[in-house]
Structure 1
Amino acid sequence: MTAVDEWEQLLADAGELTPAAVDRIATIHGDRGVRAIEAVDERRIKKYNDFIIVVGYEDEYIVENDGCTCKDAEYNLDADDPKQLCWHAVAVRVARAIGAVDVTRCGTP
């Protein structure tokens, strides 16, 4: 089990952001973790049909399978290291674990 799996399990068990989980996320992910928690608190994780968007400070980013369309993920992170996630990907994992993804249906009814 990775460190990311551990905090995801903490969140899933609690069903909410707990101080212990927040501390763990911030310890593992640093500023990225803090930004992710802020995004979840502000309800900026949106699911449209079959993909998830994180509303960032400057743009909206698509996150799929821990991959993200942001520059941080593209240039600064090792895709093979499960702990190296951009804050958008961390936010998606947090939101999924506690049921905080806003779902929007697009297209046909």
Structure 2
Amino acid sequence: MSQAVDRRGFVRPATTASVTSVDGWERALATEGQLTPELVERITAIHDDRGRRAIEAVGEQRVKQYRDFTVVVGYEAEYVVEDDGCTCKDAEYNLDSTDPEQLCWHAIAVRVARALGATDEHDMWYSDVHEFL
């Protein structure tokens, strides 16, 4: 499987003009303004354990928005997510970059947090502070 990797090491999923089921739950979540049992079911039906982990991360406020990047605090490290691309090994090795519905849990968490307005905002540059965290 061919992966699109940019100069910063981000693995980026392919983009398509069509609306995906991911776009559907994201719009519904933004409209609802909260995670309802139906939306949790919808997200986990599409993303399984990745969806559950993403929802857990949002609930624990582990999606951080810096001036330059969005970062998800994982279990072992922090992962930078940009345009659904992520620096994690799951995105690099396990996902089909040509399928816009295949996202790592970090990218799903960013979409959920943004739809809910639940990112933890930091008025600083992640590129300046990440080595100290």
- TMscore range, shorter length: over 0.9
Aligned partner of residue 96 in structure 2, secondary structure: coil
TM-score (norm 1): 0.95
What's 2:85 paired with?
67
Aligned partner of residue 64 in structure 2, secondary structure: strand
* TM alignment of 1:1-109, pairs within 5 A: 1-106=19-124
Task: In structure 2, give the amino acid aligned to 1:7.
Answer: W
Structure 1 gaps of 5+ residues are none
| CA deviation vs aligned residue, 1:32-64 (integer Å, no higher than 9, x gap) | 000000000000000110210000000000000
Superposed CA RMSD? 0.8
Q: Measure the CA separation in 1 of the matches of 2:89 and 2:35.
A: 27
Q: Give 1 or 2 for the bigger CA radius of gyration.
A: 2
Task: In structure 2, give the amino acid aligned to 1:85.
Answer: L
- Identity among equivalent positions (%) equals 66
Structure 2 gaps of 5+ residues are 1-18, 126-133
In the TM superposition, residue 80 of structure 1 has moved relative to its aligned partner by 1.5
Tell me the matched-pair count. 107
Q: Measure the CA separation in 2 of the matches of 1:22 and 1:50.
A: 29
In the TM superposition, residue 10 of structure 1 has moved relative to its aligned partner by 1.1
